[in-house]
């Protein structure tokens, strides 16, 4: 920890080989269900759960094939999820997932109660199990989970090609974590320093309970990387989903065909290969070959830590075609969505889904992704 209370970036070596050997994956149960996807890389986007006719027309016009939706405590049930799915299907667009799990108590994603073993943990886990059951009952067979204990970190806003975007400088006195209306501040966001063993034990406690429910419901869980993937932030280690070895061990502990990765390429690029151990294409070749990658967040950043800004896909430090080619190499059949799109338009312009500047940002991103996918498919033919 330096003088301005920003977290340090020293990488710890993993010392848990003996422990890992004792918690390797158990064989999946005979009742495990994984619903197959149609072949091919699918172009998708996050979108509202209650689209207007104009929304559906727009998505069809720009070539969106699948959507990732959100919910609220009031709509987190099988009947509402079914209604959302049927609404999109009526226009020829398929619902791939309800992206952020929600229950009666609120968001079931980046839950400090689960990550840090705080009061209410078991209640949150039970709500999450019910959420998985609702997804399966509604015919929606994927959801994303994240295991961060103190939010997504930012130090302010910046400009990329004149567009507003997120910035993170680990040495900034303004560095903070944000999630679900809470702000997490250094030096100790949760009052003390947590050990890596605690984070691993808490993950194991969670995943061993929810994986069997996911198998019974036929729902895949893709685990999102820690954003940003610094080794520790404000006393909370990011030792599992911030590097290749952590993911590898986490998948072994889960031991389920229904537990895999939501690979956010932008988050992974924030860490850079020095911290994460493998770049996005290498992650895809390893985990994608095992059919453990279920969803891709397609975004780019200006540079790895300690300082980055989010950029357009074609404007960061990584060649995004390498990602699309790697997906084609492993015959990936999940969705690829734009994520954290820089907001086009003048300062203060609206941000709703019908705003022309928001639509321009999305259309630009979808077109770029479709072009890269089509190139990868042609070159593989």
Residue 59, SS3? helix
Centroid of chain to Cα 302: 19
Residue 3 has pLDDT above 60, yes or no: no
Residue 21 has pLDDT above 90, yes or no: no
Residue 274, SS3? helix
Listed by start position, the domains of the chain span 34-380
pLDDT tens, residue by residue, 23-40: 333 344 546 889 999 999
Q: What is 34-380's CATH superfamily?
A: Divalent-metal-dependent TIM barrel enzymes (3.20.20.150)
Residue 356, pLDDT score: 82
Indicate the pTM of the whole model.
0.89
Nearest to 260 by CA among 210, 207, 221: 221
Residue 209, pLDDT score: 97
Average pLDDT, the chain: 91
**Share of residues in the chain with pLDDT > 90 (%):** 84
């Amino acid at each position: 920890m330096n003088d301005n209370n920003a977290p340090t970036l020293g990488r710890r070596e993993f010392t848990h080989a003996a422990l890992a050997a004792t918690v390797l994956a158990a064989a999946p149960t005979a009742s495990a269900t994984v619903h197959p996807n149609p072949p091919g890389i699918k172009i998708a986007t996050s979108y509202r759960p209650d689209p207007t006719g104009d929304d559906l027309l727009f998505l069809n016009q720009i070539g969106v094939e699948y959507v990732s939706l959100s919910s609220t405590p009031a709509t987190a049930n099988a009947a509402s999820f079914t209604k959302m799915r049927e609404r999109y299907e009526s226009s020829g667009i398929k619902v791939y997932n309800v992206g952020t799990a929600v229950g009666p108590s609120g968001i079931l994603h980046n839950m400090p109660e689960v990550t840090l073993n705080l009061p209410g943990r078991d209640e949150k886990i039970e709500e999450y199990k019910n959420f998985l059951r609702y997804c399966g009952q509604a015919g929606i067979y994927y959801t994303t989970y994240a295991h961060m204990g103190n939010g997504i970190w930012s130090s302010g806003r910046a400009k990329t090609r004149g567009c507003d975007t997120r910035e993170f400088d680990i040495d900034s006195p303004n560095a903070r974590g944000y999630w679900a209306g809470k702000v997490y501040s250094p030096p100790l966001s949760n009052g003390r320093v947590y050990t890596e063993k605690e984070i691993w034990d808490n993950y194991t406690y969670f995943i061993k309970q929810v994986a069997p429910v996911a198998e019974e419901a036929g729902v895949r869980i893709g685990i999102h990387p820690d954003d940003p993937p610094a080794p520790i932030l404000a006393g909370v280690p990011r030792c599992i989903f911030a590097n290749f070895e952590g993911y590898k061990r986490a998948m072994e502990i889960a031991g389920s065909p229904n537990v895999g990765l939501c690979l956010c390429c932008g988050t992974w690029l924030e860490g850079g290969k020095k911290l994460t151990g493998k770049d996005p294409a290498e992650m895809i070749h390893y985990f994608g070959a095992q059919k453990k990658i279920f969803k891709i967040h397609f975004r780019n950043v200006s540079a790895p830590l300690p300082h980055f800004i989010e950029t357009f896909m074609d404007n960061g430090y990584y060649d995004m075609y390498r990602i699309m080619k790697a997906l084609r190499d492993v015959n990936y059949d999940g969705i690829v969505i734009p994520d954290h799109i820089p907001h086009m338009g003048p300062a203060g312009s609206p941000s709703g889904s019908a705003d022309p500047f928001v639509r321009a940002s999305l259309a630009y991103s979808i077109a770029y992704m479709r072009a890269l996918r089509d190139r990868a498919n042609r070159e593989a033919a």
